Amino acid sequence: MKHARVLVNGQAADATINTENQVVLTDGTLLSEGEFSWLPPCDGKIFVLAINYADHAAELSFKAPDEPLVFLKNRNSLIGHQQNTYRPDNVDYMHYECELVVVIGKEAKNVSEAEAMDYVGYYTVGNDYAIRDYLENYYRPNLRVKSRDTCTPIGPYMVDAADVADPHNLVLRTYINGELKQEGNTKDLVFNIPQLIAYLSDIMTLSPGDMIFTGTPEGLADVKPGDVITTEVEGVGVLTNTIISESEYLAELPQ
């Protein structure tokens, strides 16, 4: 099953996606395009993996890490499907990062690798934008690089873990204005999902709704205002958003 959160008449609501790709509220109401907007489908702690694909490490002239390189993002960065992400004015390079996102389904603490997949509730698609200008060290992404408002589209919905046969063999793709720019496969993860859950749950308790952005493969490119970015994970979903300028974003904020 596919689970979504949408904004309808100014109110957040839970929904599912039926076999005809229609959005259905919990009371059975069918929503048509234009009657709602997409919200991030999950709400919890946001863990993000750096350099978790060997080809991406090589693209950046780094060797693969010896243990997971994890940083945290704030919830202010999350936005839903078909929403806008702003590019700060006067920066030289902002790029997408298509990622499989693991969503924790039940509380996990000190979980073994053998048990870890039992704690996966859902999967979704994430796009972890980065501002390359401010990247002081790829091993320590700072706030200006990764935690700006709107810089983390996620969704459109979550897919039940049971509906994804092999999360370690999924194709990831990113398109800019319809042109394929990035392609990889989760089989090339440096640290797989059980390893990540075991590692993180040893450090802190994982809660339902917590998200693990598992990293991005090689194939990064600059994005500019007006670009429409589509990231997709095979069998999980297709996530689209549009890049706008910082001045456009600020003009849209409530006064």
- Tell me the per-residue pLDDT of 42-61, one tens digit each, with 9 for 90 and over: 999 999 998 899 876 667 66
Q: What per-residue confidence (pLDDT) applies to 139? A: 58
Alpha-carbon distances, residue 41 vs 97, 169, 173, 235 (angstroms): 19, 23, 21, 17
Question: What is the pLDDT confidence band of residue 65, given thresholds at 50, 70 and 90?
Answer: confident
Q: What per-residue confidence (pLDDT) applies to 145? A: 80
Distance CA 27, CA 48 (A): 35
Q: Which two tokens stand for residue 246?
A: 């910082």
pLDDT at residue 134 tops 80: no
How far is residue 54 CA from its own chain's centroid?
Answer: 19
Question: What is the pLDDT confidence band of residue 147, given thresholds at 50, 70 and 90?
Answer: confident
Q: What per-residue confidence (pLDDT) applies to 254? A: 84
84-87 β-sheet, strand order: 84-87, 237-245, 228-233, 171-176, 179-185
pLDDT at residue 24 tops 90: yes
pLDDT at residue 243 tops 90: yes
How far is residue 217 CA from its own chain's centroid?
Answer: 13
Cis amide linkage into residue 156, ω under 30° from 0: yes
Q: What's the average model confidence in pLDDT over 223-244?
A: 98
- Domains, the chain, in order of start with CATH, read 1-39 (2.30.30.370), 40-252 (3.90.850.10)
Q: What's the average model confidence in pLDDT over 194-203?
A: 98
Question: What is the pLDDT confidence band of residue 221, given thresholds at 50, 70 and 90?
Answer: very high
Nearest to 245 by CA among 48, 72, 36, 90: 90
Question: What is the pLDDT confidence band of residue 140, given thresholds at 50, 70 and 90?
Answer: low
pLDDT at residue 125 tops 70: yes
Q: What per-residue confidence (pLDDT) applies to 174? A: 98
> For the chain, what percent of residues have pLDDT higher than 70?
95
Q: What's the average model confidence in pLDDT over 127-155?
A: 82
The model's pTM is: 0.95
State pLDDT tens for residues 95-106: 999 999 999 999
> For the chain, what percent of residues have pLDDT higher than 90?
83
